[in-house]
Structure 1
Amino acid sequence: MSATLTVVGLGSGNPDRLTLGIIKKLKAAATVYVRTAEHPVMAALKELDISSCSFDGLYESLDSFPEVYEAITSRLIEEALSAPEGTEIVYAVPGHPMVAESAVSLLRQRCPEAGIELQILGGESFLDEAFVRLGFDPIEGFQLLDASGIRSSQLQPELHTLIGQVYDSFTASETKLCLMELYPPEYEVIVGHALGVEQEERILRVPLYELDRQDGYGNLSLVYVPANRSEDARKRTFARLHEIVDTLRSPEGCPWDREQTHESLRKNLIEETYEVLETIDEDDPDHMKEELGDLLLQIMLHSQMEEELGTFSVYDVIEGLNDKLIFRHPHVFGGKNAVDAEEALKNWEGMKAEEKRLKGVKPEAESALSGVPRDLPALMKAYKLQKKASKVGFDWDNTTDVLAKIREEVDELQEAIETGATAEEQMLELGDLLFAATNIARFIGADPEEALTRTNRKFVSRFAYIEQQLLNRGTSVKESSLEVMEQLWQEAKAEERK
């Protein structure tokens, strides 16, 4: 058996708010431990002749808060186990024991395992003072966040938000940077120090960008972000995008959007993808941002259609993607290592095969060419098919052999044309030539799609030069001779080299 361990709350800082029951517990305890002596109530405890031992030294000797809370938990359990049966050890914490007290959470897990009776007596938390001093009703929508682990994904602008554990300017800076991912720099926030503590309380209203420029951060500091239910506050959230798409597809929404199907939007998805690629080629970030939004809309619309049928929602899509990314990156989220991109790719391919096995598919029973999308553009599909074939040894030995094959296919196409072969036969010979030409890309480390895209762009640029030069002369391509246009074409090539 062991001593009883009782955790009590010392309240938010005003000694007058201490309950009579907690004072009696503190007076009767065999030993009193406090998480920190840096609390306004400690002076009142001394007046009541209640001595205590603090864990402040752990904050100085250990590197992180989790280590401190672990050490406090271990020490209290050790003390309870070694104390005489029937005695009571009291652990006093600021505020309420169940609000932002990690060591208490650990005690609740471990005391039953150790056979220690654990009691918890509440106290006034800093939340009670915050509701009163800051003047908001939590039933309107409220969230409490920890500044030491705050993430932008947690933020919901339509809720009143209290951020505790703002111990110093560094934590305030991290909080500010996180908030500014969703709120404008000028958004007014409130900093509260020692709320409810006479002669120590300070409440400051500051623009968000000045949050870390304030003095006085400490154990009794918090940041309050008032709820903002304006449309502007929500327009950066994914939830709002989901709502908008849902509204567009609803009976009260847009007639055009309601009529769309997977089939009718198929071409839109392809077009938007290529428009994104164009912005990448142009190195135009502003245009890219817009086009990525258009592409995302297509994904949202297709997901919304399935949500209406009850098959899946966009959040299921996100969940599946998250699971896949974690599973296929064991060198990041697991125990494997990858020293370079090639090894990372091997891990990726290995986990893809493992996924198939988990789904009951045997990768070794599949064709070596499986996994290439049916509707890829032909040039891209040819490249992927050849890459897959090469992995199992079905490939040319060198570029000389590939170039020889290309010449062979040129000769066969020429023969088909000169002998008057059917249009179908000529087309097939042309396909063989294009397929052979695609093969050389792998050997020279080039993507054939990108190579042809660059040539297309070069052709457009040179032709535009011809048109502009002819326009300067008061004529056009329709009125010009081939000889003149060829001369201008060579000029355009010369301009590119400058």
Structure 2
Amino acid sequence: MSASLTVVGLGSGDPDQLTIGIMRKLQQATQVYVRTKEHPVVRLLDELKLPYTSFDDVYEARDAFHEVYEEIADRLMTIAGSGTSDTEIIYAVPGHPMVAEATVQILKERCPEREIQLTVLGGESFLDEAFIRLGFDPIEGFQLLDASGLESRLIQPQLHTVIGQVYDMFTASDVKLSLMDIYPDDYLVVVGHALGVSGEEQIVRVPLYELDRVEGYGNLSLIYVPKSDEDEHRVRTFERLHEIVSILRSPEGCPWDREQTHQTLRKHLIEETYEVLETIDEDDPVHMQEELGDLLLQIMLHSQIEEELGSFNVYDVIASLNEKLLFRHPHVFGERTAGNAEAALQNWEQMKAEEKRRKGIDPSEQSVLDGIPRDLPALMKAYKLQKKAAKVGFDWEDLDGVFAKIDEELAELKEAITEGQDLQSQQLELGDVLFAVTNVARFIHSDPEEALSLTNHKFVRRFQYIEQKLKSLGKTFEESDLAEMDRYWNEAKTLNK
């Protein structure tokens, strides 16, 4: 490669921290380019009368930072590609070239494609000064985050957190909102401007709610959030939930939790699922939040039991789910398309079949009815069995056939009861009626569980209306009769109760 480009770091801002090697490179270079003149060390270049070209004009011409970085990288590669083997082109960036420097990442990716030899020389990072001036040791646990892409899910309160690229108050405001998802409004945070630069450094400690009221944000600004092990700051993190469940199951934990097995927890998993469904039917978001948490606890406990056995842990569960969602949504994460819900469902089913083939399972060797959980509630299971059978053509052409089947099964039930057949025979005939009625749900595209649930709720409302009416009259059920109760029932119907 004849073309070459060398990237050097100008350090965190203090000219005295500039390395001798990098200073020599700047003095000996044929051409020097700086990402921006807005850096204290560039003033040293002016004092030494070292010529350079800045890319500040690109910032003024472009609307978004990623466009700025793309253009700077492209200009540099064009310049380097047009040079000769003895041309020394230096690109100087603030801080360390490999810390929060997007242009260098673009150059590292694309220079080989253009046969440009790229050399990166370090420099003092703004982190070096942050460790010194803010007084924390990163070995205790540390994370560096970008203010421009900050999301609350990335924040881990148990780690020291430095947030860079805080260029202005608008960015600081976005950071504040993300942090407020985790920390209380009055949590103390630190704003650092030009750390380590004599005469320019500012370190301001403020409550979180004042973060975007601090003056002076710019290229040399950062925000520091001290680590915290307090539960009130970690309570929203999944890691804390995992930790709590593992403690509950430990020898020092809860005796009841320690004794649980998959089998003993089975009924609780079912109960919590139905309690979530109840909050959905009641359209009660506050109650739903609580019940979803109870259901999540059951998942955590089952996963914790397997973690203790060495089989898998809850993070394996999450990984499996993520992989499944990505694989079964090729119309979202792949190249397929789906213009409606039916097409999306077809993609899902096709990818499920592909998953089985990859596991060595031949879908053609399986029963059409395979894949339905054994312990589903009977009505729900009937619905799913019928849907699977209908997919291969085992179905009535229209609702007339369904209603005829219901009439047939109802007649057989009446006959079994009238003739005094044994209980099992009567149950089977009753089951046939319910199974036949379930077909109606499919034809009208209604879940039978939901339909019956609506009727159950309607029955509860109307029956409670009867209770209220009797109570207002000072009467009990024993003091009433069916005719009176039926009158109040019909009254409830007219009131749409």
Q: Normalized against structure 2, the TM-score is what?
A: 0.95
SS at match of 1:496: coil
Matching residue of 1:154: 154
> Aligned partner of 2:349: which letter?
E
Q: Structure 1 CA distance, aligned partners of 2:77 and 2:407?
A: 82
Shift of 1:362: 2.2
Matching residue of 1:423: 423
1:441 aligns with 2:441: yes
> Aligned partner of 2:380: which letter?
M
Q: Is the 8 A contact 1:279 1:288 kept in 2?
A: yes
Matching residue of 1:281: 281
The farther-off stretch of 85-94 and 218-227 is 85-94
Matching residue of 1:29: 29
Q: Structure 2 CA distance, aligned partners of 1:316 and 1:287?
A: 29
Q: Is the 8 A contact 2:3 2:115 kept in 1?
A: no
| Residues 1:422 and 1:96: Cα distance change in structure 2 (over 3 Å) | same
Shift of 1:109: 4.5
Q: Is the 8 A contact 1:3 1:89 kept in 2?
A: no
Matching residue of 2:458: 458
SS at match of 1:204: strand
Shift of 1:143: 1.2
Matching residue of 1:100: 100
SS at match of 1:432: helix
| Residues 1:115 and 1:467: Cα distance change in structure 2 (over 3 Å) | closer
Matching residue of 1:342: 342
Aligned counterparts, 1:73-84, within 5 A: 73-84=73-84
Q: Is the 8 A contact 1:2 1:82 kept in 2?
A: no
Q: Structure 1 CA distance, aligned partners of 2:230 and 2:426?
A: 64
Q: Normalized against structure 1, the TM-score is what?
A: 0.94
1:368 aligns with 2:368: yes
Q: Is the 8 A contact 1:58 1:68 kept in 2?
A: yes
> Aligned partner of 1:65: which letter?
F
| Residues 1:341 and 1:166: Cα distance change in structure 2 (over 3 Å) | same
Aligned counterparts, 1:239-250, within 5 A: 239-250=239-250
SS at match of 2:190: strand
Matching residue of 1:390: 390
RMSD between aligned residues: 2.0
Q: Structure 1 CA distance, aligned partners of 2:400 and 2:327?
A: 41
Shift of 1:281: 0.7
The farther-off stretch of 461-470 and 88-97 is 461-470
Matching residue of 2:185: 185
SS at match of 2:262: coil
In structure 1, the gaps of 5 or more residues are: none
Shift of 1:303: 0.6
Matching residue of 1:170: 170
Deviations 1:322-378 (A, max 9, x none): 111111111211122222222222222222222122212222332222221111000
> Aligned partner of 1:19: which letter?
T
Deviations 1:167-194 (A, max 9, x none): 2233223322222221222222222222
The farther-off stretch of 466-475 and 153-162 is 466-475
Q: Structure 2 CA distance, aligned partners of 1:73 and 1:206?
A: 37
Q: Structure 1 CA distance, aligned partners of 2:12 and 2:196?
A: 7
SS at match of 2:143: strand
1:251 aligns with 2:251: yes
Q: Is the 8 A contact 1:3 1:88 kept in 2?
A: no
Q: Structure 2 CA distance, aligned partners of 1:464 and 1:3?
A: 86
Deviations 1:271-290 (A, max 9, x none): 00000000111111111111
Q: Structure 2 CA distance, aligned partners of 1:3 and 1:87?
A: 8
Instruction: Name the count of aligned residue pairs.
Output: 497
Deviations 1:413-472 (A, max 9, x none): 111111111111111110000011111111222211111111111212222222222233
Aligned counterparts, 1:50-69, within 5 A: 50-69=50-69
The farther-off stretch of 123-132 and 210-219 is 210-219
SS at match of 2:263: coil
Aligned counterparts, 1:111-130, within 5 A: 111=111, 116-130=116-130
In structure 2, the gaps of 5 or more residues are: none
> Aligned partner of 1:195: which letter?
L
Q: Is the 8 A contact 1:193 1:202 kept in 2?
A: yes
Shift of 1:54: 1.4
The farther-off stretch of 148-157 and 54-63 is 54-63
Shift of 1:239: 0.6
Matching residue of 2:260: 260
SS at match of 1:50: coil
Q: Structure 2 CA distance, aligned partners of 1:3 and 1:496?
A: 82
Deviations 1:8-57 (A, max 9, x none): 21121222322333222211111111111121222211110111011223
Shift of 1:112: 5.6
Shift of 1:199: 3.3
